[in-house]
Amino acid sequence: MKWEKYLVPASLDEALKTLAEYEGQARVIAGGTDLVPQLKKKERTVKCLVDVSRLAELKGIHHQDGLMRIGAGVTHQQIAASPLLRQTAAALAEGAAAVGSPQIRYMGTIGGNIVNAQPAADTAIPLLALDAEVEIASKEGVRRQPLEDLYVRPGVSKVDASAEIVVAFRFQTLHGKRGSAFARLAKRRSLSLPILNAAAVAILSKDGALFEDLRLALGPVALTPFRARKAEEALRGQPVDGESVVEALVIASEEAQPRTNPLRGSAEYRREMVKVLLGRALERAVAAAKA
């Protein structure tokens, strides 16, 4: 056995108390799709696993007054299948639909995807473009912080899963002249690492002609999920279909730092593909905003 105890608390309070009792020797488990392989490979050791999959506080996709709240225990399958998310945060629904395979999407959760902290996690990139906030519970109470501030380096986030529980993600929904989209480049459609992934949020002027605002996210082109802020800056206030889009994509490909990787291709190739992939996401986000 890789662990001595497997506990399934019935409430968030009970889960936090159990974690506290083990003083760093227990760890949260949700779908287990990342954690179980890590435990098997002895990349991590724990005495006790605290299963959060029954916690009501971590469930549900709720929309109120323009604010979306998605429980950390919501699975990729639930996100991909949500008509509400397809309509108001399409980039996230598309990102979740691209994860692994049906088995992984039915087990894996958005909370686990974020805490596992991979720079190309398929829900992290759209959540970054959606400017999401994370709600984290500990025995000290609940804190909220921007998703962007959660990452340290590949595989390491600021959530201490031996003492803290991610409860939910929150972001503004996109309606009116706002739209989003996700794009992914991989060797095949399922069970394949992304060579690159990209998400775009476009907020257009009333006549749909200008970028009032926009957010562009990319992975894996840095140690953490990456916002292409220089490209965003270059496009703010510019026409949606002018030369400025081409120029902004060049800027994004320069500020991104993809590395040569035997599985993902050369840095030069991936830098070129930043323009293509981000261009596709942005074009679809603009089309959604105009629709």
- Residues engaged in binding ligand FAD (CB under 6 A): 27-35, 37, 52, 58, 72, 99-100, 104, 107-109, 111-113, 115-116, 121-122, 159, 161, 165-166, 191
For residue 33, give both structure tokens.
Answer: 């799709």
Shortest distance in whole angstroms from residue 22 CB to ligand FAD = 13
Cα–Cα distance, 98 to 135 (Å, whole number): 25
CB of 107 to ligand FAD, least distance (A): 6
- Strand spans (E) along the chain: 5-7, 26-29, 48-51, 61-64, 67-71, 133-138, 141-146, 151-153, 156-157, 165-172, 178-186, 194-204, 211-219, 226-227
Residue with smaller CB distance to ligand FAD, 184 or 227: 184
CB nearer to ligand FAD: give 100 or 212.
100
Smallest distance from the beta carbon of 211 to ligand FAD, in angstroms?
28
Least separation, in Å, of the C-beta of 82 and ligand FAD?
16
* Chain residue whose CB lies nearest ligand FAD: 112
Q: Tokens 């320069």 sit at which residue?
A: 254
CA 268 to chain centre: 25
Between residues 9 and 112, which has the closer beta carbon with respect to ligand FAD?
A: 112
By C-beta, is 35 or 204 nearer to ligand FAD?
Answer: 35
Helix, coil or strand: residue 5 = strand
- Minimum CB separation from ligand FAD for residue 204, in Å? 29
Cβ–Cβ < 8 Å for 214, 221: no
Min dist. Cβ of residue 66 to ligand FAD (A): 25
Question: Which residues, 6+ apart, have CB-to-CB distance to 201 below 8 Å?
Answer: 91, 129, 130, 131, 174, 178, 179, 180, 214, 215, 216, 285
The residue (of 185 and 251) whose beta carbon lies closer to ligand FAD is 185
What is the closest distance, in whole angstroms, from the C-beta atom of residue 72 to ligand FAD in the complex?
A: 4
- The number of residues making up the chain comes to 291
Between residues 37 and 237, which has the closer beta carbon with respect to ligand FAD? 37
In the complex, what is the shortest distance from the CB of residue 124 to ligand FAD, in angstroms, rounded to a whole number?
7
Kindly give the pairing relationship between strand 48-51 and strand 5-7. parallel
* CB closer to ligand FAD out of 33 and 203: 33
218/228 Cα distance (integer angstroms): 7
Q: Nearer Cβ to ligand FAD, position 85 or 166?
A: 166
> How far, CA to CA in Å, does 115 sit from each of 56, 134, 253?
19, 11, 27
Q: How far apart are CA 263 and CA 4, in angstroms?
A: 36
